[in-house]
Amino acid sequence: MQQSACTLKNVKKVFGSIVANNNVNLDIRRGEILSLLGENGSGKTTLMNILSGIYFPDEGEIFVNGEQVTIRSPKDAFDLGIGMIHQHFKLVDVFTAAENVVLGLEEKTRFDLKKVAAKIGEICDKYGFHVDPYQKVYNMSVSEKQTLEIVKVLYRGADILILDEPTAVLTPQETEKLFSVIRNMKKHGKAVVIITHKLHEVLSVSDRVAILRKGEYIGTVNTAEATELSLTEMMVGKKVELNIDRPLPVNPQKRISVSGLNCKNSEGLPVLTDVSFDAFGGEILGIAGISGCGQKELLEAIAGLQPCEEGSKIEFIAPEDETPVSLLGLSPKRISQLGVSLSFVPEDRLGMGLVGSMGMTENMMLKDYSVGHSIFTHTKEPHDLAERIREELGVVTPGLSTPVRKLSGGNVQKVLVGREIAAAPKVLMTAYAVRGLDINTSYTIYHLLNEQKAKGVAVIYVGEDLDVLLALCDRILVLAQGKVTGIVDARKTTKEEVGLLMTGKGGDK
């Protein structure tokens, strides 16, 4: 039996009328990895924010090393040895790694960044990772930033580490590396908590799993005794079908044809190099790649939002009409009138497509603002559409006029994806449609995509989770640094093959 590092008793936290945590009991032990599992909005992050001093609990008790404590601020949390690695990195972009590490520390010694750099080097050696103390954060990759976050909490002498969805933005290889670091920390007697909703990760890395459902604490089980199905049932509260349907494409017709596509970013560097592929109606084409490898630019180029280089070719073939129409040079509005729809879910979810301070109804209206000629707005249809999306997708919101910014991430995404699908497109492009969504909602969205596929729509799905890409798509196009490294049949390929293609190494096979 390991020593208990931190215990939560009957913790409750309320935001306005929403109960984010209720009666949560948690036991975090040294030399152990605990997974915190739950759907979106089940209060995992809120709970950990309470531990790290960002939020203050309304009720309940917290014990650290057997003593009851009050954590009023992040500083209190540090003093108790609790360090949190947030899902959205808490780093200052224009600072160097070392500057970020010492931020907020009240050391009595003279301010000397060289000493800090030396100590960072020591920590890196101990746990086996690499950080350049003088590198600016804005030059770092996602995984480097995450490593820096871990160094930051270790530098502060944390021995209870909380990682909030650490693998959401990592490739399978980077994830494996992260897990080995975490196992290393476990060996050194640290207590580690991982928040995630990827079940296979829970099973592979953790010792025990604590499950939350809609803010309520469900229970803690030993990972060795759990299976994917049993965990899902605890999480969702009912039996769920974990298999994604994948009907064979019916009568696939060429819908989009891209060849020799080249794009440059605003700094003049190539982001897409010689991309060629076809997308068929009635088929789901997956696009895999490490984030920032040109997925966004590819979709934007098709939607007319990204200028393309000379010689690029993008053609659209309407189902009723065999003659290809070139999409290059058409305005985004014209392209979307042809039936090419793009729903891009950026990391912050609100960045593209929705206006945070507007309600659901008004956000529905954004898409067809130009319909009708009256100077007054038509609210009836958007209102009905909003109502329908709310019911069909189960959007949890106090009302249709509540600003979407106030909804939880998953619900915001449902609104966005729901609206795009409702536009009845002929080509539906979605990027990160299930980013950060829980299992139940994700499956609702996969189901919606399959419905579109059955209707003969060409679906292009940019995803992060390889397991899902492999289970949902018919074909997978892999991008690495703006180049197509392969188009594989999703029914025959393996995760390893796709992972290798993503790093650009498998390209010559």
Name which of 78 and 344 has its Cβ closer to another protein: 78
Per-residue binding letters, 399-428, with another protein (x by CB under 8 A): -------x-x--------------------
Q: How far is the CB of 74 from another protein (least distance, A)?
A: 5
Stretch that binds another protein, among 32-40, 92-100, 195-203, 349-357 (CB under 8 A): 92-100
Residues with Cβ within 8 Å of residue 117, at least 6 apart in sequence? 98, 133, 134
Position 369 contacts another protein (CB under 8 A): no
Name which of 92 and 454 has its Cβ closer to another protein: 92
Position 92 contacts another protein (CB under 8 A): yes
> How would DSSP label each residue in 217-252?
EEEEEEGGG--HHHHHHHHHSS----PPP-PPPSS-
Q: How many CB atoms lie within 10 A of CB 459?
A: 29
Position 134 contacts another protein (CB under 8 A): no
Secondary structure percentages of the chain, helix, strand, coil, to 5 = 35, 25, 40
Instruction: Give the burial class of 213: count Cβ atoms within 10 A of its Cβ; 0-12 exposed, 13-18 middle, 19 or more buried.
Output: middle
Position 103 contacts another protein (CB under 8 A): yes
Name which of 74 and 260 has its Cβ closer to another protein: 74
Q: How many CB atoms lie within 10 A of CB 176?
A: 14
Q: Which of 2, 105, 122, 326 binds another protein (CB under 8 A)?
A: 105
Q: How far is the CB of 65 from another protein (least distance, A)?
A: 20
Q: What value, to the nearest 5°, has the Cα angle with vertex 337 and ends 331 and 340?
A: 85
The answer to whether the CB of 198 falls within 8 A of the CB of 36 is: no
Tell me the C-alpha distance between 258 and 264, whole Å: 16
Position 102 contacts another protein (CB under 8 A): yes
H-assigned helices in 243-323: 295-303
Per-residue binding letters, 262-301, with another protein (x by CB under 8 A): -----x----------------------------------
Q: How far is the CB of 46 from another protein (least distance, A)?
A: 9
Q: How far is the CB of 191 from another protein (least distance, A)?
A: 19
Name which of 73 and 222 has its Cβ closer to another protein: 73
| # chain residues binding another protein, by CB under 8 A | 31
Residues with Cβ within 8 Å of residue 26, at least 6 apart in sequence? 6, 7, 8, 11, 34, 36, 47, 210, 217, 220
Tell me the C-alpha distance between 505 and 488, whole Å: 15
Tell me the C-alpha distance between 176 and 173, whole Å: 5
Position 115 contacts another protein (CB under 8 A): no
Residues forming contacts to another protein in the complex (CB under 8 A) are 15, 52, 54-55, 73-75, 77-78, 84, 86, 90-95, 99, 102-107, 111, 136, 138, 152, 267, 406, 408
